[in-house]
Amino acid sequence: MTPIYFGPTEKPLYGVFHPAHVRAARAPAILLCNPFGVEAIRAFRIFRILAEKFAQAGSPALRFDYYGTGDSAGDCAQMSVAGATENILTAHQELIDISGANRVVWVGLRLGALFALLASQARPKGLAGLALWDPVVLGADYLRDLKTAHVAGLAQVFDQSEGVILSKRKDANFASEASGFLLGKEFRDQMLDFDLSQIASRPARSVAIITGEEQHELVSHLESVSTDITLYEEEKTQSWNADAAMNAFVVPVGSLDLVSTAVGKMR
């Protein structure tokens, strides 16, 4: 694997390219789209393993950090939905350039799935499929969940009630931070503004949804824009996505197999 910087010189993005270990004629290249915030830290090792799994099977893979996240340039305040969407398109072209692939499948986890859906609307050349893993598709609900998790996390570590936690903070709404990460105004506004009507055209020839939750709204919307969808049912427990997993080598092997299977079946 090779760490790289790519994208605009003044706003470099950090990525790691995993070249294919074997030649596989029809294998697409894989672009991994990170979740956000603490979920991106929890998913780091999983994405590294997943990228290597694809590379071993003949698919070159690229994982990367959005602007304002991870090792990429920029402050958290500069991270935005529009920016992350643009970054996916930049990474897509970078992957084509360095791998020589003409077909790319995007794998988006949690908020990365929403970013991938939005980026697909630019209809980039070579996009062959989308694998949406535990997708986040309702921006307002997601922001609410971030706040809930943030307050519950603080209540636990300080051994106080959530009411006490809220009453002691100046920004009691916790609108601008979540579990260690700043939520910029632009990011919040764009999340609140998002709805599925922004996915007005078919995202890609093949779309797979890997999830343990009901996704009626997303499925019905994608069907309305003539998308060929395959659903893969995942175990409901997201063992990787918990505080306890932060200091343990938790890898959801079953989910990785589902994602690999979903991508392998895309034509």
Partner 1 sequence: MREQLVQFGEDGRLAGILSPAQNDEQNTPVLVFLNAGIVHRIGPNRLHVKLARAFSAQGFPCLRFDLSGLGESPAAAPGLGYEQQSVVDVTAAVDFVMGRLGERPVILAGICSGADNGYRVALLDERIRGLILLDPYAYQNTTAQISDLAKRAQDPARWRRLAGKLTSGTQHKQAEEEFFEDDNDRVAPPKEEFGADLETLATRNVQICLLYTSSVSHLINDKVQFGKTFGKFDFGSALSVDVLSHVDHIYTELSAQSELADRIRGWLKTTSFR
User: Alpha carbon 246 to chain centroid distance?
Assistant: 18
Q: Which of 24, 248, 264, 265 binds partner 1 (CB under 8 A)?
A: 248
In angstroms, the CA 99 to CA 6 distance is 14
Residue count, binding to partner 1 (CB under 8 A): 33
Residue 80 interacting with partner 1 (CB under 8 A): no
* Residue for token pair 């636990």: 156
**Closer CB to partner 1, residue 197 or residue 247?**
247
Q: Which of 182, 196, 219, 251 binds partner 1 (CB under 8 A)?
A: 182
**Closer CB to partner 1, residue 173 or residue 247?**
247
Q: Which of 71, 141, 193, 195 binds partner 1 (CB under 8 A)?
A: 71
In angstroms, the CA 118 to CA 129 distance is 14
User: Alpha carbon 148 to chain centroid distance?
Assistant: 20
3-class SS of residue 133: strand
Q: In 3D, which of 71, 61, 114, 118 has the Cα closest to residue 91? A: 61
Q: 81-99 vs 185-193: helix axis angle to the nearest 10? A: 90
Shortest Cβ 173–partner 1 spacing (Å) = 14
Residue 98 interacting with partner 1 (CB under 8 A): no
Q: Which of 4, 57, 138, 229 binds partner 1 (CB under 8 A)?
A: 4
Residue 244 DSSP symbol:
G
Q: Which of 8, 19, 163, 180 binds partner 1 (CB under 8 A)?
A: 180
Contacts of 253 by beta carbon, 8 Å cutoff, 6+ apart: none
Shortest Cβ 30–partner 1 spacing (Å) = 18
Shortest Cβ 98–partner 1 spacing (Å) = 15
3-class SS of residue 176: coil
Residue 226, phi then psi, degrees to nearest 5: 60, 40
Q: In 3D, which of 30, 57, 77, 48 has the Cα closest to residue 208? A: 30
**Closer CB to partner 1, residue 10 or residue 214?**
10
Residues 28-57 that bind partner 1 (CB under 8 A): 38, 41, 44-45, 48
Q: Rounded to the nearest 5 degrees, what angle is found at the Cα of 152, between the Cα atoms of 69 and 74? A: 10
**Going residue by residue from 122 to 161, which x/- string records binding to partner 1, judged by CB under 8 A?**
----------------------------x--xx--xxx--
Q: Which amino acid is at 91?
A: A
**Closer CB to partner 1, residue 157 or residue 200?**
157
- Interface residues with partner 1 (CB under 8 A) are 1, 3-5, 12, 14, 16, 38, 41, 44-45, 48, 69-71, 73, 76, 150, 153-154, 157-159, 176-177, 179-182, 246-249
